[in-house]
Structure 1
Amino acid sequence: MNILVFGEILWDIIEEKEHLGGAPLNFAAHTAQLGNNPSIISAIGRDRLGTQALQELSKLSIDTQFVQVLKETPTGTVQVKLDNGQPRYEIIEKVAYDYISFDEIDTRLLSEYDVFYFGTLAQRSRESRDTLAKLFVHGSFQHIFCDLNLRKGCYSTETITSSIEQCTILKLNDEEVEVVSSLVFDSKSGDPSEFWKLVKDRFPNVEIMIVTLGKEGCQIMTKDVDLHIPAEPCQVKDTIGAGDAFSAAFVSDYLTHGDLTLAGQKANKVAAFVASSNGAIPQLPADFL
């Protein structure tokens, strides 16, 4: 399956060590491990971190034909602090992925892709946000997957609303349900099932909504079903990349086999493995593939 990913390429700086990351990149890397063909639309700086990012993307089997290299703007970085295994982010602004240019994208190639993935962080800047909007106009994808991935100070009600308007599969976590309920629907409900009623009534384009619930697993909803799938037990080391691994496994499994329950179980299993491993993109066991 050919998967096109839009968004940030960045380096997480954790205890002075540099780790390649960004939710779109993590997602793409895991889809590649699961046997798919991902390409990423992003931008990096003409600097050491940008060069290293391209090298790592190649090793991760992520196609880089849509990665733009900017002369005057640095590659993205994030200062990450772990608090009981949970990441806290200081996201540096005015970096390369804030300036993804639509004019540099050969739109004739978009027809080669089955699935399109995006989130909200790269939409914090006008240029990247406008580029994404134009991609929706020019692309024709079987599914559009939005993982909101809300980061403090990097989203708006308008961005969240327009993102939900474009996707066929919406994924968010239980904390984000409360945020979006308040901002978009002026509701105080944090219940995923009640939230789904609001989403499906206002956004009929959304065919599937997934809410990840941490150690409680996940909830998957369509107009016909409301499934709760228990989590896989694991010893958490850090959760960076676990949500992205979940998304990658769900997309890969569901769009191949069409079974929501099995896809949710697979996604929980892969996410648990990543959460119990070091790094956001550990090598997945052979029996996961």
Structure 2
Amino acid sequence: MRKDTKHSTPTGHTKSVKAITVTPDRQRVISASDDCTLNLWDLTSGALQLTLMGHKSGVTAVTVTPDGQRLLSGSEDGTLRLWDLATGITISTLLGHTGEITAIAVMADGQQAISASDSTLKFWDLYSGILLRTLSTHITSVNAVTIAADSQWVLLGCNDGTVKVWNLTNNDSQIYTFSGHTKSVTALALAVDGQTGLSGAEDGIIKLWDLMSCTELKTLTGHTDLINALILTPDRQRAISTSNDNALKVWDLESGQVITTFIGESALRCCSIAQDNVTIVAGEESGRVHFLRLESA
């Protein structure tokens, strides 16, 4: 059994924190907010190091390239910005979407990225800033995107309650659809080996999938409102979820039971975990960023 304790809750954002991520070197945390800024935090101390300004609308998505040198962010106004993490300077602004960016992901080689807005996916060359191609999913709006480590598969969480799997190496063809949710799919997570996935929905339900056999393994119940973010640990033994019910939950996937719960003062919109599998950061509707740590009971 394990428990979590709040490490610190620094202030820095004035509006809701929509997305959060930890750099690969486990040194920094980047939070993205409706206040149009991104904040860089020291993971150990929780100290605010730098604020990135440039977006004209709320920042809805953020990710770091595998080499830890660049940051990609997406905004409500449909723009993406690529930043130099060492200097905090914008490298390029990527234009092409007309609606809010709902999800972004960087491929394993760090050279290309995918962004989602409405029912389209756009593929970008991060070095040139050029739009490579647009994929129309011909489905309802895409709320969440995650890419397998080999960059061959992409999972889409859709408004119609389905999780769709696309093969990016076979003419961008849709391979199969998971139909288990009755409400809009709002969050996704994928194991490092690409064999196991998690999906969370508007009704607070989380499902664990075996992507190789296309079967549902478990349904996790405990949240009472929309799931905002999901994490699957590399060993596939635990999952972490945040919800509009103000809760962050850590799950044991073998039993399907909650190990521990952290309650914020408002909706917890996003979360990320460092590669030590112990340090968790979560962003709140209030603008707070929580630094949490899993400790043995």
**Structure-2-length-normalised TM-score:** 0.40
Give the structure with the larger strand fraction: 2
Higher helix share: 1
